[in-house]
Structure 1
Amino acid sequence: MPRTERPQAPARAWFTGPGFAPAPGAADTAGPRLICFGYAGGTPSVFRDWADRIGPGVTVVPVLLPGRGLRSDEAPYTEMAELARDATEALIAAGHAAPGSRHVFFGHSMGALLAYEVACALRDRGLPGPRHLFVSGSKAPHLYGGPDGQELGDDALRQLVRDLGALRPDDRVGSAYLERRLPVLRADLTLCAHYRWRPRRPLDCPMTAFSATHDPIAPPAQVEAWRAYTAASLLHRRVRGGHFYLNGPARLPLLRELRAELTRTAEEREPSWTY
């Protein structure tokens, strides 16, 4: 696939937090790392307190995509293949996919799709994939495609954001913060609409999928369809809330599940469990 002409950001630019890159040669002894992929239009701030809530010994590494934060001067991607390719290269360059590394992927909504594509890309390169893949608020990859908001006018897009519960209580439609996010959100929605799943064999890692009770974007049946994407096990958890339950107290069951998996010992992983 021809490479899109865009300046290549250094690996450090893709990751935020103190654990953006492990020390050279420390992959086999370092604690588990949780690589977090955010939702369409989102920023890594949603993961700000996860390290404290998950507990010591786990390094939380949010992925910072172009168009956000310190990368706000970079154009966001509109094609998943290009984004997954460059995110994978950054992950490798930062040392997060070194042999012996203990990394787990989490992705919410568009981030789940990106996490899956990066896991496939690592496997294609013969590199270690995630030990566990957590997907949240996302239908299975083959169900993506279609408008899903990228063709909406600005007013309709603002209303969609409000209806889905993406705004905090003190935010309002038309706020300066939301206005700054609209171009990135539209680019991300275009990326999801253009995505077409390419058939590949299932991943080898176990998966946990989260669906929210009032999520119109990823209803339980479409989240359950992730089961075909792993040759190991899939545990489907249901939580209360809407598509953006991740921003409120309904996320606590998710954080407990992440903590349990990330602190599971090697002995507790055998024999492999199925659900």
Structure 2
Amino acid sequence: MRLVCLPYAGGTPSVHRNWAAHLGDDVHVVPVLLPGRGLRSRETPYTDLGALVADLADALIEHELAQDYALFGHSMGALLAYEVARELRDRGLPEPAHLFVSGSKAPHLYGDRRDHLLSDADLRQLVRDLGGLGADDTIGSSYLERRLPVLRADLTVCETYRWTPRRPLSCPMTAFSATGDPIASAHEMEAWRVHTRGSLLRHHVEGDHFFLNGPSRPYLLREIRAELDRHLARRLDRLDRLDRPM
């Protein structure tokens, strides 16, 4: 089972560091590094979601990750995960075994924010207010200063996105929201239900918008592991039935 993890705006794969140790040897964690950060810092970040989703789908296919996989995304990553799942389905490929969305209102609710147009000072304050600088504000501010262009590009991706009606996905979903998250309330996370014909399991945890980096992280990982265990058990059961003599 491959768990492909898509980042929040301005985020890097480092947020998924050590996830493999918690999720077990039979889950291959695949953090996605987008242009404009890390080893891809010289590449221009995307500002259009359609182009980004098409290229992500191409990359998953090229690296043989579009089979027997699940998707996890937080904030912008949740929107990307949903659109990538639709893109792969529309190309005739399997949907993910499970779609995990975190800290993001449902796709049809996007279009009400213009944070990418904020001044640098206001954008810094927004990240601070959301809890994105962590406990050490000095280190966090220095890091954020280098990330502002990528963050602004990512916010442009999200805030210029407009949902277009298509049939719901068939895969089950799990949605995680946090008590102190002003961007994705419990009600807005519940709205994901209309985007799948499968089940939607919703968890409401303690924390702010960046709760996946806080005390609720162990709970989040346990629930992801539990869902993947259920999928792996069903897969083994199917294989066992196929092996039985007629």
Select 2:194's aligned residue among 205, 213, 228.
228
The structural deviation recorded for 1:139 is 0.2
CA RMSD, Structure 1 to Structure 2 (Å): 1.6
SS at match of 1:36: strand
Q: 1:138 to 1:269 in 2, by over 3 A?
A: farther
AA aligned to 1:83 is L
Q: 1:120 to 1:67 in 2, by over 3 A?
A: same
More displaced, 256-265 or 76-85? 256-265
Question: Which whole-Å CA distance do the structure 2 matches of 1:53 and 1:62 have between them?
Answer: 15
Q: Structure 1 residue 77 and structure 2 residue 43: aligned?
A: no
TM-score (norm 2): 0.92
Where in structure 2 are the equivalents of 1:1-275 lying within 5 Å?
32-97=1-66, 101-172=67-138, 175-264=141-230, 265-266=233-234
More displaced, 41-50 or 255-264? 255-264
SS at match of 2:73: strand
The structural deviation recorded for 1:262 is 1.6
Question: Which whole-Å CA distance do the structure 1 matches of 2:53 and 2:6 have between them?
Answer: 11
Question: Which whole-Å CA distance do the structure 2 matches of 1:211 and 1:200 have between them?
Answer: 25
Contact between 2:2 and 2:28, CA under 8 Å: does it hold in 1? yes
Question: Which whole-Å CA distance do the structure 1 matches of 2:213 and 2:38 have between them?
Answer: 18
Residues 92-132 of structure 1: CA deviation (Å, up to 9, x unaligned)? 000011xxx32110000000000000000001110012000
AA aligned to 1:197 is W
Residues 181-240 of structure 1: CA deviation (Å, up to 9, x unaligned)? 000000111111100001000001000101101100000111100000000110111111
The structural deviation recorded for 1:268 is 9.0
Unaligned runs of 5+ in 1: 1-31, 271-275
Question: Which whole-Å CA distance do the structure 1 matches of 2:236 and 2:118 have between them?
Answer: 48
The structural deviation recorded for 1:269 is 8.6
Question: Which whole-Å CA distance do the structure 1 matches of 2:140 and 2:17 have between them?
Answer: 25
1:8 aligned partner: none
SS at match of 2:116: coil
Contact between 1:135 and 1:208, CA under 8 Å: does it hold in 2? yes
Unaligned runs of 5+ in 2: 239-246
Question: Which whole-Å CA distance do the structure 2 matches of 1:222 and 1:208 have between them?
Answer: 14
Q: 1:201 to 1:269 in 2, by over 3 A?
A: farther
The structural deviation recorded for 1:176 is 3.0
SS at match of 2:117: coil
The structural deviation recorded for 1:64 is 0.7
Percent identity over the alignment?
65
Question: Which whole-Å CA distance do the structure 2 matches of 1:269 and 1:259 have between them?
Answer: 18
The structural deviation recorded for 1:170 is 2.1
The structural deviation recorded for 1:74 is 0.6
AA aligned to 1:266 is R
SS at match of 1:105: strand
Higher share in helix:
2
Question: Which whole-Å CA distance do the structure 2 matches of 1:109 and 1:161 have between them?
Answer: 13
